[in-house]
Amino acid sequence: MSDVISLESIPTISPMFRLQWEEVQDAFVILYPEGMVKLSQSAGETLKRVDGAASVGDIINDLEAQFEGADLKDDVLQLLEVSKENGWIKTTS
Amino acid sequence: MAGLKQQVNQAGHTVTPPLWLLAELTYKCPLQCPYCSNPVEIAAHKNELSTDDWIRVMREARKMGSAQIGFSGGEPLIRQDLEELIAEARQLGFYSNLITSGVGMDEARIKAFKKAGLDHIQISFQASNEELNNFLGGTKTFEHKLEMARLVKKYEYPMVLNIVIHRQNIDQMTDILDMVVSLDADYVELASTQYYGWSLHNIDQLLPTRDQLERAEKIAHEYQDRYKDKMKIIYVVPDYFEGRPKKCMNGWGNIFLTIAPDGVALPCHSARQLPGMDLPSVNDFSIEQIWNGSNDFNKFRGMDWMKEPCRSCDEKEVDLGGCRCQAYMMTGDATNTDPICTKSSEHQALLDDVARIETNALNHVEEKPLIFRNMKNSKKHLDSLTKSE
Ligand code: SF4
Ligand code: SF4
């Protein structure tokens, strides 16, 4: 992949999309013009930590703390890369 | 779908949430597009819900799981309470879409909508040049639309540009796409006219020929490729040439809930014409009662209503038998297979009609004039109905 995401970069949700919790779906969703993507639980847990302040490394640490020491680095990086490809998030550097 | 709260209603149907609330705020419109999807009977439905009614509808639908709201019409900008409705939608957590011709908009309003929390604006163009755009819309709007599109970008909304495609503008596909590229659209919807309401009246002038369609598709695909990193171009070709119908509304009573200006709840914006509908109004029932319990929304839910050949067809989950309105308009029975399907016994009649239209088009024969969508023509239509009764 051309733009690999580094641990230091800081992701933000792109202004073209909105992430929100949907009670009736029991899931996080990404909303955009006339459409909606329902996120898996792990994708939702990751993207809800994207707040424009936390770095990718912070997000991984936070998730690993919550899910008791699981090694989530590769999964998170992969998810963020896909999210970036879809235009859902932007990253610094 | 795991996690999705489905429920089985009294009629025994599995009911999913009405994800999409289409709020048709008014049938009034300064334009007169001859392909307008509003009913031809607009002049008979002049009552409009109040601001409070709409707020109640939004709250109830949101509770049922609606996540997207489309403010449309007619022309939604005619409603002076639009800012207020947008603010309420945002506060309730809707993703709000304004679907407009751009007429009635100015910079101050675009700014106010942003402040109220509007998420996205879709502007429709009739064509890519002033003359044809203004002719089709029945009024001078082209320059204004261009200006509004630029402002939508300036205020950093995601911008969808929508162009309804038909025989009168399909040969301008290159120009249309160059225009949307120059306006820096994020999404482009090239929507082939669908034939009900006004467009069915005008189908002889609107249905493109096969040749036209092939050329246009090729051009659209080129642009899709070339700009794939910049904008998403969606071209929905007319199902008249496909041999299989579309899964209309993604399934009856499945995700779409339309509320007409007078408060009538509809499974699709054209369903008002079908016989045997109760047409429940939000003035009398809650959204929950309408969505889960009404006769109208259960009528064609799922597949139990199907007759042959759909009933035993192995493709029935793919298209759910197509469009109920099309089936009704072409066969007189809404439970029939959509005649677009090659398995329909009425399919040959459809092909014959398409051939007649195409022959007339190639020979420039006009059997009847183009009728523009306006209250005067709607009244004329209503008068002719009462006379023939
Ligand atoms: S299609 Fe044209 S006439 Fe109909 S509501 Fe839209 S802008 Fe108005
Ligand atoms: S017969 Fe009915 S279900 Fe089968 S493909 Fe045709 S429309 Fe679809």
Q: How far apart are CA A32 and CA A13, in angstroms?
A: 12
Domains, chain A, in order of start with CATH, read 10-81 (1.10.10.1150)
Q: Using the beta-carbon criterion (under 8 Å), do B160 and A32 form an inter-chain contact?
A: no
Contact B174, B219 (CB under 8 A): yes
Helix (H, G, I), strand (E, B) or coil at B226: helix
If you measure from the C-alpha of residue B62 to the centroid of ligand 2, how many angstroms do you get, rounded to a whole number? 34
Give residue B237's pLDDT.
84
Helix (H, G, I), strand (E, B) or coil at B336: coil
Contact B268, B252 (CB under 8 A): yes
Closest by CA position to B165, among listed B222, B111, B235: B235
Interface mutation vs chain B, best among A32, A42, A86, most B CBs within 10 Å: A32
Tell me the pLDDT band of B15, cut-offs 50, 70 and 90.
confident
Contact A57, B95 (CB under 8 A): no
pLDDT for B20-35, tens place per residue? 999 999 999 999 989 8
Q: How far is CA A25 from CA B9, B35, B113, B218, B295, in A?
A: 18, 36, 28, 39, 25
Tell me the pLDDT band of B6, cut-offs 50, 70 and 90.
low
Give residue B226's pLDDT.
95
pLDDT for B336-385, tens place per residue? 999 999 999 999 999 999 999 999 888 888 878 888 999 999 998 888 87
* Mean pLDDT over each residue of chain B, to the nearest integer: 91
Tokens of B376: 């005067």
Specify the higher pLDDT residue, B87 or A68.
Answer: B87
Would you report the helix, strand and coil content of chain A in percent, each value rounded to 5?
35, 25, 45
Tokens of A51: 């707040």
User: What percent of chain B has a predicted confidence (pLDDT) above 90?
Assistant: 68
Give residue B201's pLDDT.
86
Q: How far apart are CA B318 and CA B321, in angstroms?
A: 8
For ligand 1, say whether the CB of B72 is within 6 Å of any of its atoms.
no
Q: Return the residue matching tokens 């106010």.
A: B112
Q: How far apart are CA A89 and CA A11, in angstroms?
A: 6
Specify the higher pLDDT residue, B137 or B109.
Answer: B109
Tokens of B54: 């709409």
Helix (H, G, I), strand (E, B) or coil at B100: strand
Q: How far apart are CA B287 and CA B133, in angstroms?
A: 38
Give residue B182's pLDDT.
95
Q: How far apart are CA B23 and CA B37, in angstroms?
A: 14
Positive or negative, the Cα torsion across B99, B105, B107, B111?
Answer: negative
Ligand 2 atom with least separation from CA of B340: 7
For ligand 2, say whether the CB of B339 is within 6 Å of any of its atoms.
no
Which A residues 35-74 touch B at CB under 8 Å?
Answer: 35-36, 38
CB of A25 less than 8 A from some CB of B = yes
Pairing outcome for strands B95-100 and B68-73:
parallel
Q: Give mean pLDDT, residues A47-53.
A: 94
Cα Rg of chain B (Å, integer): 21
Q: Which among B4, B156, B160 has CB closest to A25? A: B4
Q: Using the beta-carbon criterion (under 8 Å), do A34 and B120 form an inter-chain contact?
A: yes
A with B: how many residue pairs have Cβ under 8 Å apart? 53
Quick one: closest CA in B to A23, which residue?
B65
Tell me the pLDDT band of B148, cut-offs 50, 70 and 90.
very high
Closest by CA position to B315, among listed B348, B298, B338, B334: B338
DSSP B252-296: TTTSEEEE-TTSBEESSTTGGGSTT----BTTTS-HHIIIII-HH
Quick one: closest CA in B to A29, which residue?
B67
Give residue A19's pLDDT.
95
CB of A2 less than 8 A from some CB of B = no
Q: Using the beta-carbon criterion (under 8 Å), do B65 and A29 form an inter-chain contact?
A: no
Q: How far apart are CA B273 and CA B264, in angstroms?
A: 12
pLDDT for B291-347, tens place per residue? 999 999 999 998 989 999 999 999 999 999 999 998 998 899 999 999 999 999 999
Q: Using the beta-carbon criterion (under 8 Å), do B65 and A24 form an inter-chain contact?
A: yes
The amino acid occupying position B105 is M
Q: How far apart are CA B205 and CA B351, in angstroms?
A: 17
Q: Give mean pLDDT, residues B228-249.
A: 87
Q: Which among A26, A32, A38 has CB closest to B158? A: A32
Q: Is the pLDDT of residue A3 over 80?
A: no
Q: How far apart are CA A44 and CA B92, in angstroms?
A: 21
Tokens of A4: 């690999």
Ligand 2 atom with least separation from CA of B316: 3
For ligand 1, say whether the CB of B75 is within 6 Å of any of its atoms.
yes
Residues paired with residue A90 on neighbouring β-strands, in sequence order = A12
If you measure from the C-alpha of residue B238 to the centroid of ligand 1, how many angstroms do you get, rounded to a whole number? 19
Distance from CA of B308 to the nearest CA of A (A): 34
Tokens of B22: 């289409």
Contact B120, B15 (CB under 8 A): no
Q: How far apart are CA A70 and CA B386, in angstroms?
A: 73
Query: Which residues in chain A touch residue B122, judged by CB atoms under 8 angstroms apart?
Result: 33-34
Q: What is the model's pTM?
A: 0.90
Closest by CA position to B164, among listed B123, B201, B192: B192
